[in-house]
Amino acid sequence: MEQNRLRLPAFLAKVGARLPEPFVSLHFVAGLEVARLMHWLNPPEELEGKVFLIRVEDLGVASRFRVMAGRFRPCMGQDEDLSLSACAADFLVMMQGEMDADTLFFQRRLRISGDTELGLVVKNWLDTEERPAWLRRLAGALLPG
């Protein structure tokens, strides 16, 4: 399985690391909000007021956001309650529903830090959230093999 993982050029992480987190967060949160408005991704109540950090390691980017009134909002300079870090390919297989967060975590491909109970809420939410067919196809098209 390891040989089938998407490998991004190393220079992308160097470029991504130069992008300001607020810039990345605005774009990332815009995508989350579109998904929410289309009823593809609805945050559970337990996420209300919590701050999250998503780091895509091989792209060198990070996005910090919170859930407020059931909506995703960028936030800057606040400590996160929960942090998730992985490479782009691993986030894609999780989005596609081909691999769950537990598997990625135990294979040390997904790093989680912060509030453990909140991590379980997010994991269960993502594992049960129905993915639209086009998202599964898109993620599948981006992954080799």
The pTM for the full model equals: 0.85
- Burial group, residue 82, by CB count within 10 angstroms (0-12, 13-18, 19+): buried
pLDDT in tens, 48-82: 999 999 999 999 999 999 999 999 999 988 999 99
The full length of the chain comes to: 145
pLDDT in tens, 88-141: 989 888 887 788 888 999 999 999 999 999 999 998 888 888 777 776 666 666
What is the topology classification, in CATH, of domain 9-142? Nonspecific Lipid-transfer Protein; Chain A (3.30.1050)
Residue pair 81/52 in contact (Cβ under 8 Å)? The answer is: yes
Measuring CA to CA, which residue among 51, 117, 54, 64 is closest to residue 86? Answer: 54
| Helix residue ranges per DSSP H, the chain | 11-17, 21-37, 88-96, 101-106, 116-128, 133-142
Residue extents of the structural domains in the chain: 9-142
Which amino acid, 108? R
